Chain A
Amino acid sequence: DIQMTQSPASQSASLGESVTITCLASQTIGTWLAWYQQKPGKSPQLLIFAATTLADGVPSRFSGSGSGTKFSFKISSLQAEDFVSYYCQQLYSTPWTFGGGTKLEIK
């Protein structure tokens, strides 16, 4: 199975700042990577797929980069509604594994 190591597990930041979350795959996955946002008590929402492509309706302050084994997810100019949890997921091969998640907190 492909392991997805996501870091950090939690991060504090201020409104307007930028943050970057990283996912490392245990083997190469090309660009078969997605990023999801999950608000408390809600189901996940797809933000980015194919490592860099923004899903429909997702604000441009969200971006993704990377290929192979190292991937990054960036939020520029944090808004209040961005302080929730984020997950990466590889869909290169089954089982389609998720990272451990990152919880953003307001500093």
Chain B
Amino acid sequence: EVKLVESGGGLVQPGGSLRLSCATSGFTFTDYYMSWVRQPPGKALEWLGFIRNKANGYTTEYSASVKGRFTISRDNSQSILYLQMNTLRAEDSATYYCARDIYGTWFAYWGQGTLVTVSA
């Protein structure tokens, strides 16, 4: 069974940093792209970026809204995905989800989400 479990969310001050984790199991982690998606309270989903699989060199892509502030990485030995978030702003407050694809693209598996609140 595929499982994705996010952790690391919480309250952080503007300008601060936070690292989210997504622990995975039930599949060969290195075979898959892994993405982060967020959702502010009551608002729409926003794709943040992904890290490619082993076959594609674990390279990354980001949305413009987080590029340069957020970094996606993976620990393939422990099957954990990370999202390092720096210089956080109030508008980064959201539930953050990790997601895994099927057939190389579609987000068939999602974690339960972890809430990040950026506030003084």
Residues of B in contact with A, size category = 20 to 34
Interface residue tally for chain A (C-beta within 8 Å): 24
Binding-face segment, B9-17, B40-48, B79-87: B40-48
Contact call A44/B64, Cβ cutoff below 8 A: no
A34–B47 Cα gap in the complex (Å)?
Answer: 13
Q: Confirm or deny: B97 has a beta carbon within 8 angstroms of a beta carbon on chain A.
A: yes
Write the chain B residue with the least CB distance to A98: B45
Contact call B45/A87, Cβ cutoff below 8 A: yes
Given contacts A1-B64, A95-B63, A95-B64, contact A43 B110 (CB under 8 A): yes
Q: Confirm or deny: B77 has a beta carbon within 8 angstroms of a beta carbon on chain A.
A: no
- Describe B's contact surface by its main secondary structure: strand
Q: Closest Cβ of chain A: how far from B52's Cβ, in Å?
A: 11
Question: How many interface contacts (CB-CB < 8 Å) are there between A and B?
Answer: 56
Contact call B45/A101, Cβ cutoff below 8 A: yes
Choose among A42, A55, A91, A99 the residue with the greatest number of B CB atoms under 10 Å from its CB.
Answer: A91
* CB under 8 Å from chain B, chain A span 71-107: 87, 89, 91, 94-101
14 contacts between A and B (CB under 8 A): A34-B106, A36-B45, A43-B97, A44-B45, A44-B110, A45-B110, A46-B107, A46-B108, A49-B105, A91-B105, A91-B106, A95-B61, A95-B63, A98-B44
B interface residue numbers (CB < 8 A to A): 35, 44-47, 50, 61-64, 97, 102-103, 105-108, 110-113
